[in-house]
Each structure stands twice: as C-alpha cells, then as structure tokens.
Chains A and B, each alone.
Chain A
Amino acid sequence: MQNNPILEIQNLKKYYPFKRGVFRKSNLHVKAVDDVSLSLEQGETLGLVGESGCGKTTLGRCVVRLDEPTSGRILFEGVDLATQNRKELKLSRRNIQVVFQDPFSSLNPRKTIEKIIGEGFIIHRLHTPQERREKIREIMDAVGLRPEQANRYPHEFSGGQRQRIAVARALALHPKLVIADEPVSALDVSIQAQILNLLVDLQQEFNLTYLFISHDLSVVRHICNRVAVMYLGHIVESASSHILFQRAAHPYTQALMQAVPIPDPFRKKESVQLEGDVPSPMNPPSGCPFNPRCRYSQEICREKFPYLEELETGHSVACHFPQS
C-alpha cells in the first residue's frame, strides 16, 4: 500500500495559547490538531471528516502553512514544508492548491474572473501575457465556464459557477495536490452534484490527489478512496472508504454514521443516538477524548489515551474497545 505517498503528515500539532484566570496563566493551550499523522498516495482522494471544531480545517490549513504548525513534519514529495522559508514555500505552493468552502468570500469581488484565475501565473512569473490568456481560457473550458465570461466579476455568477471559478483558480498552475475544504457545503444539492462530478473528472484528467475535508459523510463516501475521522484534534479512525462504511470500529464513527438522515422514509430508524455535545477543546476530558459521550466507556477510557492502532490492514482505530 505505502508505495508512493505524495504527502506525509507526521505528528502534526497546532496549539493555540489562551489565557484564563486571575494570574492570566499563559501555558494553557487549545490543541486544535494534536499529534496527527496521515499519508496520501498519488492520485487518491482522502476524506477528512468530523464535526465543527474537530480540527479538520486547521489541519488542511497547516499543510499549506496558512496556519503555522506548532510542531511536526509535512513531507510533500519527501520535502518538509514545515521548515521551509518563504521563498522555498512559494515554490512548493505551486503544487498544492486550496479550494475553500464559501465561494462568496474566497473570490476577490473587485477582480475579473480572468485576473482571479490568472493570479497564480503572475505570482510565479509564468508564461507570456498571450499564453496566460490562452491557458485561462483552457482551464475555464475544463471547469465548464464559457471563455467569454472571462471579463466578468464574481457577483455576476451564481454560487455553483463561483465554485467553478475557485476550482479553475486552484487548477491553473497544474498542482499535484488539491486541498478541498468543504467545497460543496455552501451549494444546493443539484449544484453540489455538478461540482462533485467536476472534481471527479478533473482528478482523472490532471491526475490530481485530493485532501477532501467535509462534515458530510454521504459526500465523503461517494468521492473518497480513503477516509480519516477526526474528533477533538485527533484522528480516531482511518480506513479505506468501503471498509469504513461497512465496518466502522470506533464508537464515534458508528454514531456519526447513524446520525446521518437517509432519504428513505421506509428505513427502520435505529434508536441509539449520541447524547450531549462535543466537549470544549479548552477543557478536554482526560483519557480518551470521546469517553464522556461513549456508551462503551469504562475505567481505562477515562485514564489512558488510546493511540491509533491497526485493526486490520489499512484500518486503524484509536479505541480501547473497538467494536466489530
């Protein structure tokens, strides 16, 4: 399996300091991402799922160093991005691009589509103006925008079309890895399907690797080869998509799947549901971060942190009592 990782994240941590109390003790930290290791193979789509506040977006932002990681290594084709200086990082970022959730705030309203998509060429001083124009037209065509729309502004487009613009911008420099952070969450379902299909097509056409961050399990199952589930800054389970959705072993993953409403009124509803809220990351529980909500929780879960262990080939779980 581990033949050709394009991205390897090793023991990545991102702590945010915060102050509290009379003496404003400053050695307290919110551990947004705590000791996460992941690897992505060339050409695959890895889904990163979890609820709000689990650290999935922070992890994605750390990979391109939009957020500075506290510690850990981010190996992209063997080179550690975490220690690169500005100049080196700029070169690396040509190969890693991001598509954000909200196409209403991720596009500069005062720039035309041509300028937005072509910004990468200018930053990296690529091509002549004539070539740039051609390349922009090509990529617009590839994402399903009409080339004559190049001189329009973002507000003239619908949400789905804006997300196509954001995808075009990400792909203009022919990156190897695309981090898609909730790329379809702000879109209506009929448009969501269009954009997901587009992402699948482009992946084949340009041999892309995706880190697909989402809270929507149905979407993740549909588009990802492999899935990692995050909870309170930790990866609690990871496996290939079909294994995870067939036999999830972590109680949190199971609860998450059970909670997804299925568009089928005849389905028998299972009564088990997850009680309570996600604990505050400022004051995480001791031992297993999931133990206060877990119905299999025992003494050891409150005392000892469960590390990620391989249950079967390619299927790892961080739980003292994995369910099978």
Chain B
Amino acid sequence: MNTQKEILKIKNLSTHFKTDDGVVRALNGINLTIRNGETLGLVGESGSGKSVTALSVMRLIASPPGRIVEGGIMFDGKDLARLSESDMRYIRGDRISMIFQEPMTSLNPVIRIGVQVAESLQLHKKMSKAQAAKKAVEMLNTVGIPDAEKRALNYPHQMSGGMRQRVMIAMALSCKPELLIADEPTTALDVTIQAQIIYLMNKLKEESGTSILLITHDMGVIAEMAQTVAVMYAGRIVEHAEAGALFGNPSHPYTRGLLNSIPNLNKPVPADRKLQSIPGTVPNLLELDSGCSYRNRCPLATKHCDSDMPFLREIRNDHLVSCFYAE
C-alpha cells in the first residue's frame, strides 16, 4: 500500500436504520481510506449509502432511527464513531466541514450571507465579530464572488444557485478544515456553472491542501476531480482504486456496467443508438441476505455468489475489488 499519510480511515463501518418495516441496512461494513491532500470520489446510485457514509463521518445520523452499529472512523488518532457529542462539535465545521447538494436549503434564508460565513470563525477561531466579518469577505473573495464586500450583505435569495454554492464553499473552508466532505456539490447546478464550481474546488484544494471526500453519482465529475475512487453498491464498497486504474481497468462487473451505461461525448454513438444498460434494479436494503447484493444483475454470477458475500480483496497494487471473479 501507498504509505502517504492517511487523514481518514473508515474501518468496517455499519450504519443501520430502524423503521416500521424492519431494519434498513444502509451501510454494511465499509472500508475506506482518504490520504492527505487527495480527493476521494465516492460514487454510486441513489440508495447505495454514499450520503449515509458522509453523515456517519460527520456524526449527523439522526438517532433514532439511525445508529452506527459497528466499526470505526479514525481521524487524527481519534475514533469519531465513539466521540462524545460535545467533542464532536469542536471537530465539525472546524477540522471537518461539509457542503450539501442544495445550496438554497442549506443556507439560512433570513441571515445575511456574510454573517453566516463569519459564524464558524467566531465559534471555532474565537474571532471578534469585526475580525470574522472581515475574514468572511476575504473568503467570499477567494471563492470568486465579485464585489464581495457588498455581496456579504445579501440574503441567500438574492443570489443565483452557483453563487450560493460558492457561499457554501466559503463557509466550509473558512476554518481551513483538514477534510471537506462535498455531497453532490454540483448536482443542482447547470453544466456551465458546474464547470466553474469544479474548477474552483480543484484550485482551492491545490492551494490549501485540504483533503476532499467527494460524493456524486456522476462519473464525469469524479473523473475531473478525484485521484482515488470508491464505488458503492447497496451499502458496500465494491471497488476502490486510483482514478486512472478504475476508469482504465474497471474490474467489478457493476463498475463496468455503470461506465458502459453512460453516454460519453468522446465516444462514437452506435448506429442503433443503444446503450448497454444494467438489467434490473437495486436490491431492497430491508431484504439483504448473505450473498452478493449485485448477483441478480450480474453477468458473472454463480451459485457461489448466492451464498457468500465477496469481501474487498487486492487484485493489483492498490486496486481493491469485492467480486469472486474479478481479475
């Protein structure tokens, strides 16, 4: 394994939700490592457990109904899964911060954006109101908001979606976190605005050295931002590799299916205009059994897959796959 320092190591993490219909096993023993200064892309379809992973790291799982049932989240020698809420509060927003998909619902509509950005600076960095306000304007400048001094007095509704997402980024980065969790940061934006935000996040990452956990369903966004990629399916990591290896040599049948099912602007359109789709749908997380959760959609599935769940194994250097038949 690469020996670069690890900022976050998730070990065998399981998060379950108790519902009236039974226990929803959203995460089933996931293992994930983010190295210092890298962007790890966590990709998967809805319900695969991407967001639950992020919320588990931030300890924002509503309990009840949710609970981290086992496993650890190692961050700087501490296990976040076992930290008290008051200790966690010092880390959240300061050393680990998060940006969400919908910038309209994650900003407070009745507070000026400058004040919102300044809040965490006052709280974590013990700055005075005036100092924090000045630093907030600086941050708004950094994220490319023109006329930042005036814009700091705006309310969220006075800004466009792209500008609001820039405010979210300014807020998340204001305390210089070691880890930034970005949950679908560009999904609600138009493509030209998405390109701006991707460019901005890549640039800020280079400058600050912040590690990023990037959550998205878009393989294109992953390719533009991530150095390492983890693919999730039904609450498990099915493939974990460097971006080049994952796109160049996808080894789990699900990853391959996923990459084949996306129309690619750089590839010729087949004459029949058909895409290779993955048959079937994702399994119900209430009814997971001991077998591989992808077997019903998998072209390689055998009896072995019915009875046993394949664990992540290293098939090449730093290339982990959870499939019995991956080579």
Chain A residues 207-229 with CB under 8 Å of chain B are 215, 217-219, 221-223
Chain A residues 177-214 with CB under 8 Å of chain B are 188-194, 196-197, 200
Of A30-38, A145-153, A263-271, A304-312, the one contacting chain B is: A263-271
B169 to chain A, nearest CB (A): 16
The answer to whether B266 touches A262, judged by C-beta atoms less than 8 angstroms apart, is yes
Measured CB to CB, the nearest residue on chain B to A51 is B190
Let me know if A255 is at the binding interface, CB within 8 A.
yes
Count residues on chain B whose CB falls below 8 Å from chain A CBs: 47
Measured CB to CB, the nearest residue on chain B to A266 is B244
Measured CB to CB, the nearest residue on chain A to B272 is A200
Of A68-76, A86-94, A273-281, A314-322, the one contacting chain B is: A273-281
Q: Which of A256, A261, A265, A273 contacts B243 (CB 8 A)?
A: A265
25 contacts between A and B (CB under 8 A): A158-B281, A189-B217, A189-B261, A190-B257, A193-B261, A193-B276, A215-B190, A221-B269, A257-B265, A258-B195, A261-B223, A262-B266, A263-B219, A264-B223, A264-B247, A264-B264, A265-B247, A266-B244, A266-B248, A269-B224, A273-B195, A277-B160, A277-B163, A277-B193, A278-B190
Interface size class of A (residues with CB under 8 A): 35 or more
Let me know if A122 is at the binding interface, CB within 8 A.
no
Let me know if B316 is at the binding interface, CB within 8 A.
no
A175 to B275, CA, bound (A): 25
The answer to whether B45 touches A264, judged by C-beta atoms less than 8 angstroms apart, is no
A259 to B263, CA, bound (A): 15
The answer to whether A188 touches B193, judged by C-beta atoms less than 8 angstroms apart, is no
Let me know if A52 is at the binding interface, CB within 8 A.
yes
The answer to whether A261 touches B261, judged by C-beta atoms less than 8 angstroms apart, is no
B324 to chain A, nearest CB (A): 21
The answer to whether A196 touches B275, judged by C-beta atoms less than 8 angstroms apart, is yes
A208 to chain B, nearest CB (A): 13
Q: Is the interface of A mostly helix, strand, loop or mixed?
A: helix
The answer to whether A192 touches B269, judged by C-beta atoms less than 8 angstroms apart, is no
A263 to B191, CA, bound (A): 14
Please list the residues of chain A having a beta carbon within 8 angstroms of any beta carbon in chain B. 51-52, 158, 160-161, 188-194, 196-197, 200, 215, 217-219, 221-223, 241, 245, 255-267, 269, 273-275, 277-278
Chain A hits for B154, CB < 8 A: none
B243 to chain A, nearest CB (A): 4
A271 to chain B, nearest CB (A): 9
The answer to whether B278 touches A190, judged by C-beta atoms less than 8 angstroms apart, is yes
Let me know if B61 is at the binding interface, CB within 8 A.
no
Chain A hits for B194, CB < 8 A: 259, 261
Let me know if B198 is at the binding interface, CB within 8 A.
yes
A259 to B272, CA, bound (A): 27
The answer to whether B244 touches A265, judged by C-beta atoms less than 8 angstroms apart, is yes
Let me know if B126 is at the binding interface, CB within 8 A.
no
Given contacts A200-B274, A275-B196, contact A262 B220 (CB under 8 A): yes
Chain A hits for B218, CB < 8 A: 261
The 10 closest A-B pairs by CB, nearest first: A261-B220, A193-B277, A193-B261, A259-B195, A263-B219, A222-B263, A51-B190, A188-B45, A190-B278, A193-B275
Let me know if B83 is at the binding interface, CB within 8 A.
no
A241 to B279, CA, bound (A): 28
B256 to chain A, nearest CB (A): 11
Q: Which of B192, B221, B224, B275 contacts A274 (CB 8 A)?
A: B192
A66 to B149, CA, bound (A): 44
Q: Which of B163, B195, B266, B274 contacts A197 (CB 8 A)?
A: B274
Chain B hits for A51, CB < 8 A: 190-193
Given contacts A245-B265, A256-B191, A261-B223, contact A222 B244 (CB under 8 A): no
Let me know if B123 is at the binding interface, CB within 8 A.
no
Measured CB to CB, the nearest residue on chain B to A200 is B273
Chain B residues 71-109 with CB under 8 Å of chain A are none
The answer to whether B262 touches A189, judged by C-beta atoms less than 8 angstroms apart, is yes
Given contacts A215-B190, A256-B191, contact A262 B275 (CB under 8 A): no
